[in-house]
Amino acid sequence: MERPTENPGRLQDHRAHANAATIETILSVPLTDPDEVVHVVRDNADRIFTWDYTLARPALRKLYEKAKTSQWNGSSDLDWSTPVDPEKTVAEDQARLGVGLEPGRLDRTPVASWGPKEWAEFGVESRKWSLSQFLHGEQGALICTSKIVETAPWYDAKLYASTQVVDEARHVEVFARYLDEKLGGAYPVNPHLRLLLDDIVEDSRWDMTYLGMQVMVEGLALAAFGYLHQLTGEPLLKQLLRYVMSDEARHVAFGVLSLKEVYDGMSDSEIKDRQEFAFEASIRMRDRFLQQEVWNHMGVNPRDVLPIILEDPTRRVFQQMLFAKIVPNCKKLGLLDRNDSWLRRRFEEMNVIEFEHWENTGDEYLRFDLAAG
């Protein structure tokens, strides 16, 4: 079996700052230039051919066969004629949720004078920002999956990854179209998401592409899509998310099924590097996507409001929920308890360890199938 070579690349540069999610460290990363069209990232990985075409991994072949029969068409399977009133949709979704940041918590900030009009605009911009980061994350998945086709040493993994390339292209297509036609355009990629995607693409070790994208980013996305799918009453978005979730569950399962075999044979020092990366990615995804672009759009200095946002109890609950897929999948991979339970203790500090007993995506993906409803 091909073992990943050890070449941490830029990842080590960020780990010293894993716990430093202060306002200043978050805002010190420059926002993406809205006029930027092309972003170049160096891919340091080897391209691997395999001449072994035997069926050596039946679980991956089962996933491949399922993917071939689960394709959908974003142009014809979604009703794009559905009218969408963004302000009405967001207001109804917020009312259905019944919780949120109370304006009174911001009494001593520049938004204290906001009325219903400003808060309604902020809600729409927040929805637009969130869907924009979904869009950019899906392009990251598109690039990473094409890399997996090139770098995975197993025939069955290459076959499945090829189907995911098609899936991710479809996801980019439908999120981009929804943002353009229904919300009036997208926000640039958040700089912290961009840095995380850069690290995953730049790392030379083929298993880190799996861990970073398939398990961490896609796992969080699956939880976020599920949350929004349950919340929203907007029929087009709800159907779009349901289709995407059916694919995403297979994608996360692909990562879990592939890495279990690899990580069982790794040394403690190799596993420690993967644990540290999983923690660093978790910190970035939990703490650093603070919609500063939206506050800027609304004419508010993020420094004036983000300290309060960080302490909002509702936001903490939402952040914890995002790890409902990541924690059980890390447990399935054996990452929680190796090296004196290093990652378990980190997840305990993050108050997300409660999800370890939830079903892992390697076992549950069939329940997300479109035929399951």
CA distance 150 to 233: 40
CB 200 within 8 A of CB 208: yes
Q: Which amino acid is at 113?
A: S
Query: Between residues 28 and 68, which one has the greater pLDDT?
Result: 68
User: What's the distance, CA 14 to chain centroid?
Assistant: 19
Residue 60 is predicted with a pLDDT of 94
The answer to whether residue 297 sits within a structural domain is yes
**76 within a domain of the structure (yes/no):** no
Residue 245 domain flag: yes
> How many Cα atoms sit within 13 Å of 82 on the Cβ side?
21
Q: What is the pLDDT of residues 342-352, one digit of tens each?
A: 999 999 999 89
Lowest mean pLDDT among 33-37, 204-208, 256-260, 283-287: 283-287
Contact between residue 280 and residue 18 where contact means Cβ atoms under 8 Å apart: yes
65 found inside a domain? no
- Structural domain including 280 reads 189-372
Which residues lie below 8 Å from residue 41, measured CB to CB, with a gap of 6+? 197, 198, 201, 202
Per-residue pLDDT band for 25 (boundaries 50, 70, 90) equals confident
180-193 pLDDT, tens digit per residue, is 999 999 999 999 99
Would 209 be classed as within a structural domain? yes
Structure confidence at residue 204 (pLDDT): 93
In a domain, 121, yes or no: no
Count of domains in the chain?
Answer: 1
CA–CA separation, 154 vs 299, rounded Å? Answer: 51
Tell me, yes or no, whether 5 lies in a domain. no
Q: What span, in angstroms and rounded, lies between the C-alpha atoms of 312 and 25?
A: 19
Cβ contact 209:203 at 8 Å: yes
Is there a domain that residue 367 lies in?
Answer: yes
Radius of gyration of the CA atoms of the chain, in A = 20
Does residue 167 contact residue 251 with C-beta atoms inside 8 Å? Answer: yes
pLDDT, mean of residues 204-210: 94
